[in-house]
Structure 1
Amino acid sequence: MTEQLKVFDVDYRYIGEETRENVHEKGLWHETFHCWLMDEADVYIQKRSSKKKDFPGLFDITAAGHLLATENVTDGTREVEEELGINVDPAKLVQAGVVRDVIELPSFIDKEFANVFLYKSTFSPTDFSLQDEEVEGIYTVGISEIKALFRNESKVVTCKNLRDGTLSEITLNDFVPHETGYFHKVAEMLEHQLMIRYNGFQ
């Protein structure tokens, strides 16, 4: 069955529905769900499967996906369960807002109204059950470190493979090429969470 997505104008006003294929072929604005998992010290990032058609092997949001025409924003939590095997309580999502995010490639134009969320909890390696065709691995990066990377205040950060504990140095070029404004918005979210922690308001 062909996936239908809601289509919007540049001001996020609903104008109709299109197939996912047409949305990317024509460069139409549509909705996505982005969820960044974190704990007290780290942010969790996914490494995309090498089998993926787009951006294979690059690091990205912990879990994300398109919102279908029949779904509301919090229905996007299904992406976290499908890709990572993590059940998310929608009541615990921290919403950052809607961020415009455009990625243009010769094969498609992706114009997203990304509904961005943080989800703070405690996670162990055994909590994750990865969808092989989507996700190659889950890695952790210190909150302060990834915040600095996303703001271009740091060029390199160290991430740890959750499965085997191996360490790797990565740069922003190792991530899916989201817009600068998108990365800055995520950094702003993370800074707010650090302020909450440092001030003792859990």
Structure 2
Amino acid sequence: MDERIDVLDEAGGRTGEVVWKSEAHRLGLWHGCFHCWICAPATGTGGPFLLAQRRAAEKDTWPGYLDVTAAGHLATGEEPLDGLREVEEELGLPVHPDRLVPLGTRRVELEIPGGLDREFHHVFLLLEDTPPRDLRLQREEVEAVLRIDLDDAEILWSAGSAPAREYPAGAPFDTRIVPEDFVPYEDDYLRQVSLAARQTLAGNRPEKIF
């Protein structure tokens, strides 16, 4: 879905210009996004884990790739926390802003078909124990969610692969994931978030990591 968004400068400040999202991607204009990773504590069936989403096949960018649990562009005039609506829209989870743990802001540039995606990602962590099978996925945005144990998330890039449990619209199944399954960010995004999640689960508030 196309929408009107604020153009940002290279430091993340608003320039005053407003464009369609598709135009920002085509022209390589900086803009803002909300990212929320969901982490859950250990259960009777495994250790603490992160949830990743498999992007829907109909998405304009990175269809079918793995990415942050819930995310979205910030519309014109919105602040980072306004993006929290994405968690309810994509996963069916209403969340109060006080539950979010801020992890900082990433500055990302990715080549995409027909353009350049330049984004500031405002990254948050959410501790949530709703079983993945009970999430209500927004099918046009999210094909499935995947449970990845923190131990495996931390070593995926060095190990080359890791086990995961995938929860699509139908029955869940066990699978293996590789780094190439993820949107190709240059930093080790999954590992950094998993380390912050481990601190949070231990009762510590992690320092901003981006």
Q: TM-score over 0.5 for the alignment?
A: yes
User: What's the CA shift for 1:29?
Assistant: 0.6
TM-score w.r.t. the length of structure 2 is 0.85
Where in structure 2 are the equivalents of 1:173-184 lying within 5 Å? 173-178=180-185, 180-181=186-187, 183-184=188-189
Aligned partners of 2:132, 2:104: CA distance in 1, in Å? 29
Size of the aligned set, in residue pairs, is: 196
Paired residue type of 1:19: W
Equivalent in 92, 100, 108 of residue 115 of structure 2: 108
Structure 2 runs not aligned, ≥5 long: 42-47, 206-210
Structure 1 runs not aligned, ≥5 long: none
Determine the structure 2 residue equivalent to 1:14: 14
User: What's the CA shift for 1:172?
Assistant: 0.9
Contact 1:6 1:69 (8 Å CA) reproduced: yes
Determine the structure 2 residue equivalent to 1:28: 29
Determine the structure 2 residue equivalent to 1:157: 162
Contact 1:45 1:138 (8 Å CA) reproduced: yes
Aligned partners of 1:42, 1:132: CA distance in 2, in Å? 23
Q: For each residue in 1:67-89, what CA deviation from the matched residue of structure 2 results, as whole angstroms up to 9, or x when unmatched? A: 01121111101111111111122
Paired residue type of 1:160: R
Alignment RMSD, CA only?
A: 2.1
Equivalent in 90, 95, 99 of residue 92 of structure 1: 99
Q: Do structure 1's residue 191 and structure 2's residue 167 form an aligned pair? A: no
Determine the structure 2 residue equivalent to 1:78: 85
Contact 1:85 1:127 (8 Å CA) reproduced: no
Aligned partners of 2:55, 2:75: CA distance in 1, in Å? 22
Q: For each residue in 1:19-58, what CA deviation from the matched residue of structure 2 results, as whole angstroms up to 9, or x when unmatched? A: 2122111101100000001101010111112222322221
Aligned partners of 1:2, 1:201: CA distance in 2, in Å? 39
Aligned partners of 1:2, 1:197: CA distance in 2, in Å? 37
Q: For each residue in 1:93-143, what CA deviation from the matched residue of structure 2 results, as whole angstroms up to 9, or x when unmatched? A: 011101011111232211000001110120124531111111111110001
Identity of aligned residues (%): 34
User: What's the CA shift for 1:2?
Assistant: 6.2
TM-score w.r.t. the length of structure 1 is 0.88
The structure-2 alpha-carbon separation of the partners of 1:153 and 1:72, relative to structure 1 and needing over 3 Å to count, comes to: same
